Amino acid sequence: MASAMSEEFEKFRLKIRNFVEKELDPVSIKIEQDTKIPDKIVDQMRQLGLFGLSIPKEYGGLGLSTIEEITIYEEITRTNACHRSRIGTSNGIGSMGILYDGTEEQKRKYLPRIAAGEWTAAFALTEPDAGSDAANISTSAVLKDDHWVLNGTKQFITNADTARVFTVIAVTDEQKRARGGVSAFIVEQGMPGLSIGSADLKMGLKGSHTNEVVFKDCQVPKENIIGGMEKVGEGFKTAMSVLDKGRLSMGACALGAAQKIMELCIEKIKNKIIEGLQKKEIQAIQFDLADMGIQIYAARQMLYNTASLRDHGGNITAEASMVKVFCTEMASRIAEKAIDIFEMDGCLTSNQIEILLRDVRLYRIYEGTSEIQRIIIARNLLKK
């Protein structure tokens, strides 16, 4: 599958791999301490075009296909996951709503800035009482003269502290709610009534932040509804439509991390063999390694196949959920086994394995928990 990619893209992919090894890996432990990605790194990511991977070329992005985009995620998650997270919302849930459903004017205004990494985009859907149950949000938007007035609190909003523009999902018709009463808004940082809370103290992804985002009589221009006034009430559809690809992305991130973990384990096992130590222990961990190889191979094939299906216009709702569950759960299993192989060394933050274990655990929650994915999958299987 990967072999079908263009030579030009292959070059880009190698450039990113090089960037990861030369620039990102060395700052990983520092980021754990500082809980911040160095500005220099963000600049480099901008220059590489990493904020606009899938935004079409006409809007200043790289215009990558799905399979190309996920391949880049695989590369960039071979290190501390915060980097992918930093570009993730601009490439995915933060900008895709505008791309899929926005007016031409909105696209022209926002996408080039997002693609350039000038404006980070974020996506505000989740609320304290509406996690998996997205249809239950209570943030409201009321039209008052030429402005929408937003009120409510969003939670766990990735990149809220660096975002210049938010895609915000809010209720515009309390009666209809998910069935035509929810709309998507473009809210810019600085609009009156928008405030960002302090960052959550998370288990992993220390360099990437999630925050509460509070709307208190927040004034948003009438035309900032995604797709314009004719799309009022279609926000839930917009929100859901950006999720399929998001699930593939999560799968790719988990896969990239898993692949990296396996490679580190291979090195570790080779060293154990060279050192002549622990020969008696070497068979069981080799079997663990074989299991890593098997799962990663399976994960990669299902991911690539699904991405390719999407690029060919297929409906991948069930498949994307399958990919997300399999890849993300696989990555946790592999990370846990890897710590065993590294023994106490694996518990040190100075070792990448320790960071990766904590990072990958997020993927089973983020952008739809494994449980929600299984509900979607079962529903689809029973439909047949």
Check: CB of residue 257 under 8 Å from CB of residue 360. Answer: yes
Member of 89, 126, 172, 208 binding other proteins (CB under 8 A): 126
Residue 184 Ramachandran class (φ > 0 left, ψ -120 to 50 alpha, else beta): beta
Check: CB of residue 193 under 8 Å from CB of residue 215. Answer: yes
Member of 168, 285, 292, 323 binding other proteins (CB under 8 A): 285
Extract the tokens encoding 85.
Answer: 């997270």
Q: Does 201 engage in binding with other proteins (CB under 8 A)?
A: yes
Q: Does 133 engage in binding with other proteins (CB under 8 A)?
A: yes
Q: Does 217 engage in binding with other proteins (CB under 8 A)?
A: no
* Least Å from the CB of residue 288 to a copy of itself: 9
Q: Does 299 engage in binding with a copy of itself (CB under 8 A)?
A: yes
- The angle subtended at Cα 221 by Cα 158 and Cα 56, nearest 5°, is 55
344 binds, among a copy of itself, other proteins, none (CB under 5 to 8 A by kind): other proteins
* Least Å from the CB of residue 278 to a copy of itself: 15
* Least Å from the CB of residue 335 to a copy of itself: 17
Q: Does 327 engage in binding with other proteins (CB under 8 A)?
A: no
Q: Does 298 engage in binding with a copy of itself (CB under 8 A)?
A: yes
Residue 305: which H helix or E strand, with range? helix 282-311
Residue 195: which H helix or E strand, with range? strand 194-199
Cα 184 to Cα 60, 180, 224, 368, distances in angstroms: 23, 11, 9, 19
- The angle subtended at Cα 190 by Cα 184 and Cα 191, nearest 5°, is 50
- For 121, the 3-state DSSP assignment is strand
Q: Does 348 engage in binding with a copy of itself (CB under 8 A)?
A: no
Q: How far apart are CA 263 and CA 255, in angstroms?
A: 12
299 binds, among other proteins, a copy of itself, none (CB under 5 to 8 A by kind): a copy of itself
Q: For other proteins, how many residues bind (rule: CB under 8 A)?
A: 47
Contact set with a copy of itself (CB under 8 A): 1, 262, 266, 269-270, 273, 286-287, 289-291, 293-295, 297-299, 301-302, 304-305, 318-319, 322, 325-326, 371, 373-375, 377-378, 380-382, 384
